[in-house]
Amino acid sequence: MKTVYDFTVKDRKGNDVSLNEYKGKVLLIVNTATGCGFTPHYDPLEEMYRDLRDKEFEILDFPCNQFANQAPGDEEEIHSFCTMKFGTEFPQFAKINVNGDDAHPLFEYLASEKPFEGFGKGLKNAALKKFADKNNKEFGDKAYIKWNFTKFLTDRNGKVMARFEPTADMDEVRKAVEEMLGQ
C-alpha cells in the first residue's frame, strides 16, 4: 500500500529528500503562497509547530504559484519572507506545481486519497469557490488542489487521514493534529 513515505521531493536548495525521512511522525503537508489572503495561516502553523514538534510532528511547506501568481518569488525570496515575517522554522521545500500535467506526484497522491469536498458554507466560501473554479479551469480533471493553504494530515504510518481546505478554521486543524499525536 502506497504512503507519503514513497515520495521524494526537492528541498529549497534543489536536493532530493525522501519523505521516508519523516517515517513515524505525524505530518501536515501544506501548499503555500506568500501573497495570498490566507498567508496569515503561517502564524498558527508556526505556533502549532513550535508547540508540537517535540511530539514527533512536522509541517512540510510546499510553495506553489499556480493560484493567481501569489508565490512569484524564487525559493530564497519565499523562505526569507516566511522567516522574517512569520518566524517560520518548519521545513520549506522547493516551489512546485500541485495541479495539471506538471503536478508533483505527491500532491496527486494526497488529493486522490482525500479529494476536494468543498470550501464550506457562507459568502466568503462561495466567493472563493467561484474564483478557484475560474483559476483551475485550465487544469480540468487535474485540478487536484483548489487553492493555497490546502492542508493534508497524515498519521505516523504515512496514511492520509484528513484534508483541510484553506477556509477550515485553524483551531480545527490543530485539534485534529493533537488528536493524531495522541493516538
What is the DSSP secondary structure assignment for residue 93, as one 8-state letter? Answer: B
What are 80-124's pLDDT values in tens digits?
888 888 889 999 999 999 999 999 999 999 999 999 888 887 777
Torsions phi, psi for 118 (to 5 deg): 115, 165
Question: Which of 124, 169, 133 is CA-nearest to residue 151?
Answer: 169
Residue 134 burial (10 A CB sphere; 0-12, 13-18, 19+): exposed
Q: In the numeric block, which cell numbers belong to residue 57?
A: 510532528
Lowest-confidence pick of 27-31, 60-64, 136-140, 162-166: 136-140
What is the Cα gyration radius of the chain? Answer: 15
For the whole model, what pTM was predicted?
0.93
Residue of 49, 28, 39, 32 whose CA lies nearest to 162: 28
Q: Are 93 and 61 in contact (CB under 8 A)?
A: yes
Catalytic residues, which ones? 36
- With cell 483551531, the residue in question is 171
Dmax of the chain from CA atoms?
42
Band of residue 72 on the pLDDT scale cut at 50, 70, 90: confident
All structural domains of the chain: 4-182 (3.40.30.10)
